[in-house]
Amino acid sequence: MVQTNQWNAGLYDAKMSFVSEYGKGLVDWLQPTPGESILDVGCGTGDLCAQLSLAGANVAGIDFSAAMIEAARQKYPQFAFEVADAHTYRTDASYDAVFSNAALHWMKRPAEVVETIWLALAPGGRFVAEFGGHGNCGQITKALRTVLARKGISADERSPWYFPSIGAYTILLEKQGFHVVLASHFDRPTVMAGGGLGLSHWLNSFCSPFFAGLSSDEIQQVCTDVTDILRPALFQEGHWVLDYKRIRVLAHKKSAKNTLHGGAA
């Protein structure tokens, strides 16, 4: 049984700000316009909602973590934030766009999430997302697998992540009825803040499902052992540079007219 990550909103904002910073590049794919409505799926502490609003868009955000939503409400009380599970979320609103950054790989029933996004979009609306793709953090996962196996724990059984190939994900979108306009799967080596502690901050932020049932001392030892394994490959010039691989997609919900006529000339 996959366990939910235990999110620390303060640590996330303080040490994982790169998530929102990289997400600003995704806004260029979305191209928000004044007056349109946008739903941010997996909004975290709301920083990208604020970025989207600068274009004059009306923004709302959902996230599974109550701690993240509470932080978002405190930082940006002008926006509507809601604790929600994107697998099952339903809304009476109809959005011009759905946006998601660094969140979909936490949702392990992707077909249900794709349906949620489809239902939230108005006909002709667009979906823009970036998330972890096949091989994302592969060296870190391998190190966790090695260290946890010494304790008789299967890292694969505890993994909270869904890292699909670009082909598998575009098939899901097309099966739902989306027209996939752009799709990219690319390497993005990612520098951690915090110098020598950067990997430790990352493990503490994102890996709590792997550590379920372990004492504080045991978790610290696992993190130390993982760090020792990864240092030769990922610690460069005083910084941890993690082996991120990302998927980025732009897809349109076909209008009723396009659906009836196949959308082709």
Sketch out the chain's domains with CATH numbers.
9-136+161-191+243-257 (3.40.50.150)
In this structure, of 10-19, 121-130, 193-202, 231-240, the range with the lowest mean pLDDT score is 10-19
Instruction: Assess whether pLDDT exceeds 80 at residue 11.
Output: no
**Model's pTM, two decimal places?**
0.88
At 185, the pLDDT band (50, 70, 90 cuts) reads: very high
CA–CA gap between residue 24 and residue 132 (Å, rounded): 16
Pairing mode of beta strands 245-253, 178-187: antiparallel
User: What is the per-residue burial (b if ≥16 Cβ within 10 Å, else e) of 134-169?
Assistant: eebbeebbebbbebbeeeebebeebbbbbbbebeeb
Local structure of 178: helix, strand or coil:
strand
DSSP three-state, residue 76: coil
pLDDT at position 14 is: 47
Of 20, 4, 6, 9, residue with least CA distance to 68: 9
User: Looking at 31-40, 89-98, 140-149, 188-197, which range is the least confident one?
Assistant: 188-197
Residue 54 to residues 75, 79, 130, 145: CA-CA distances in angstroms? 15, 12, 20, 43
| DSSP alpha helix (H) spans, the chain | 9-15, 18-30, 47-53, 66-75, 110-120, 138-149, 155-158, 166-176, 198-206, 216-234, 256-261
What is the per-residue pLDDT for 255? 77
pLDDT in tens, 34-84: 999 999 999 999 999 999 999 999 999 999 999 999 999 999 999 999 999
79-117, pLDDT tens digit by residue? 999 999 999 999 999 999 999 999 999 999 999 999 999
